[in-house]
Amino acid sequence: MTELDPARIPRHVAIIMDGNGRWAKNRGMPRIKGHQAGAESVREVLKACRKIDVEYLTLYAFSSENWVRPKPEVSGLMTLLQKFLRDQSHELHDNQVRLRVIGHAGDLPGAVRKELNRVIDETAHYTRGHLFLALSYGGRTEITDAVRAIAQKVKAGELEPDDIKEETVAQHLYAPGIPDPDLMIRTSGEMRISNFLLWQLSYAELYVTDVLWPDFREPDLLKAIEAYQHRHRRYGGIK
């Protein structure tokens, strides 16, 4: 059992859940089977985060670029998301976790949006934990949307250009007021951040594991957090 320092648990963990397709291919299965197996990892990681008091968990569930995948796979992913929300929302209630979404959720099929909004509304009063799903999300698009909103305020005379600061941009992102991730985990061994939380990851500690997402479980999460606890976060300074 990995021993963690309770005083140094990251407040916010973000995860790029990669490797579902490879997991399925390695077993001679269609890609959707990998996504189905990955849903179990979501449940396990959510429970593990609550157990060790990680307050915020952000999961890169579906990027804006994922829409170009084959239509049957996209359709299967949407069906899987809808089923997960319908059948597993009790996990959020059991752990008193609030669900929120970042990204262009309006791009999702109507039935998925309906289920998503239901769970968001039902969990809105929870404060013990926060689960963010990045859906139809892209980091560059998020920053572009923020810049566009700021430009509109300048045009309307509500904001002076000289008054625009980093805090101004942060306040116009999809989830203002949320602490930036302390730790970003990527599964499957890929060494890139894939347009995920480009603004928010500026000072996050990055952890990459070769474990494919469907195989990622509590011990893997604890191993990542243990590695995080052995690092010294300098934020540009000298310590």
pLDDT surpasses 60 at 104? yes
Instruction: Give the least confident one: 16-20, 93-97, 142-146.
Output: 93-97
Categorize the per-residue pLDDT at 3 as very low, low, confident or very high, splitting at 50, 70 and 90: confident
* Per-residue tokens: 236: 């540009």
Q: Which of 5, 20, 26, 66 is catalytic?
A: 66
pLDDT in tens, 37-85: 999 999 999 999 999 999 999 999 999 999 999 999 999 999 999 998 9
Residue 182 appears among annotated catalytic residues = no
Cα separation, 231 vs 205, whole angstroms: 8
CATH among 3.40.309.10, 1.10.260.40, 3.40.1180.10, 3.40.50.720 for 9-135+180-229: 3.40.1180.10
pLDDT in tens, 162-177: 999 999 999 999 999 9
Q: Which of 5, 18, 210, 220 is catalytic?
A: 18
Residue 66 appears among annotated catalytic residues = yes
Of 62 and 232, the one with more pLDDT: 62
**Mean of per-residue pLDDT scores for the chain:** 94
Residue-wise DSSP of 150-189: HHHHHHTTSS-GGG--HHHHHHTSSSTTPPPPSEEEE-TT
**What is the residue extent of each domain of the chain?**
9-135+180-229
